Amino acid sequence: MDVAPAVGELTPPDRTLMGPGPSDVHPRVLNAMSTPLVGHLDPSFIEIMDEVQDLLRYTFRTDNKWTIPVSGTGSAAMEAAIGNVVEPGDTMLVPTNGYFGGRMASMAERAGGEIVTVDAPWGQPLDPAAVEDAFAQHSPDVFGFVHAETSTGVLQPSVPELTDIAHANDALVIADSVTSLGGVELRVDEWDIDVAYSGPQKCLSCPPGASPLTLNDDAMDKVLTRESEARSWYLDISLLEGYWGDERAYHHTAPITNVYALREALRLVAEEGIEERWDRHLHVAGALKAGVEGMGLEMNAPDDFWLPSLNTVRVPDGVDDGAVIQHLLAEYDLEIASGLGALEGDIWRIGCMGHSARRQNVSYLLAALGNALREQGAAVDVDAGLAAMSERF
């Protein structure tokens, strides 16, 4: 190309983000990203690394030494967890009740593992009895489950029952907490979870780029005593340990600005208090749910398994889900998302996460969604929805 491209200033639209992620970023986090860079081995950055690890332990509710932000999006933390714990010859038990159980399977296969499944319908959690049966049948080495399934809006209850079953069978447990960390009750140590990974762009309201991961001593022992090296050099935890462990030795250049952002996002969690933050998400999402149902719409997830941070709403008959999404973007600068996999076209996915979990966002969403549905002739009662929301608040 001989002529330089004529590209103007960066002016992205100012959206209200109420989809499955990213969520609205707190102004303090954006401000942290504008601060000057230091080197990734600078003594001042080493102090920041220590602070981030302490804040992550608080948010995960763990004392695990091996608690770090992985350089990359949530999928990088996911692949670091699975690709290090699963080695060739291992059997991994994964769920079939949502899109991200399938991603677990794909990553484990690439790591050389054999995949077996525990089945449940999309939109339902795993039944501990089914998990126990799967262990009796397959004797897996690793068990993965999704704590908050972003594709279905279902929260997995009875986590300690699942981990007890796995550990009684000498298996390690990997938990996907991408849509639960910082927004829904999650207790890594108390629930005896061996490995948990997450993404910063959901309930932490932080841009993607440095993603939470924690491993207990049992999981780390397996990582450090593997018979073969992890297939990814970049995500090899035995090498990352040199940088994030006591040595602080060079492995790769950390995403410094993203670590700044994560530190500030986690500082906001600590200031609010993790249990208070769980309560806020439950309260605000409860008002969103009341408003949706008051309007005449139906939630996809049963009340017993409803996931406050990610609300799945059934698309009414005769309504084009994509047209509603485009209307909200064009007319309201408001983002929600369509369904994934088996639920594509059947639901909308509406996030209520982190800085987006505020009354003004919920009120704006309900009014805009109601107007978009009326444009398509849907019989919705927006005033009744807003009244139900206000009463719940």
Query: Is the pLDDT at 1 greater than 90, yes or no?
Result: no
Dist. CA 358–CA 40, nearest whole Å? 35
Same domain, 308 and 251: no
Q: Which 3 state secondary structure label does DSSP give 144?
A: strand
Same domain, 156 and 262: yes
Query: Is the pLDDT at 2 greater than 90, yes or no?
Result: no
Phi/psi-derived region of residue 157, left when phi > 0, alpha when psi is between -120 and 50, beta in every other case: beta
Helix (H) or strand (E) segment spanning residue 93: strand 91-95
Dist. CA 204–CA 25, nearest whole Å? 8
Residues 84-102, mean pLDDT to the nearest whole number: 97
**The domain boundary residue, chosen from 271, 291, 317:** 271
339 domain-assigned = yes
**Closest listed residue to residue 90, CA positions, set 136, 135, 140:** 140
**The domain boundary residue, chosen from 250, 271, 292:** 271
Domain around 280? 274-392
Backbone angles phi, psi at 155, to 5 degrees: -100, 130
pLDDT band of 160, cuts 50, 70, 90: very high
**Closest listed residue to residue 338, CA positions, set 375, 371, 365, 313:** 313
Share of the chain above pLDDT 70, in %: 100
5 domain-assigned = no
Residues 282-305, mean pLDDT to the nearest whole number: 97
Query: Is the pLDDT at 385 greater than 90, yes or no?
Result: yes
Spatial CB neighbours of 87, under 8 Å, sequence gap ≥ 6: 111, 112, 113, 226, 227, 228, 230
In this predicted model, what pLDDT tens digit does every residue of 121-131 receive, in sequence order? 999 999 999 99
Q: What is the pLDDT of residue 32?
A: 98
Dist. CA 117–CA 110, nearest whole Å? 16
Burial grade of 108 (CB within 10 A; 0-12, 13-18, 19 or more): buried
Domain count, the chain: 2
The domain that holds 87 is classified in CATH as 3.40.640.10
**Can you tell me which residue has the tokens 């979870």?**
193
Residues 12-41, mean pLDDT to the nearest whole number: 96
Residues 192-200, mean pLDDT to the nearest whole number: 98
Same domain, 264 and 295: no
3 domain-assigned = no
Q: Order of strands, edge to edge, in the sheet holding 91-95?
A: 66-72, 209-215, 195-197, 172-176, 142-146, 91-95, 114-118
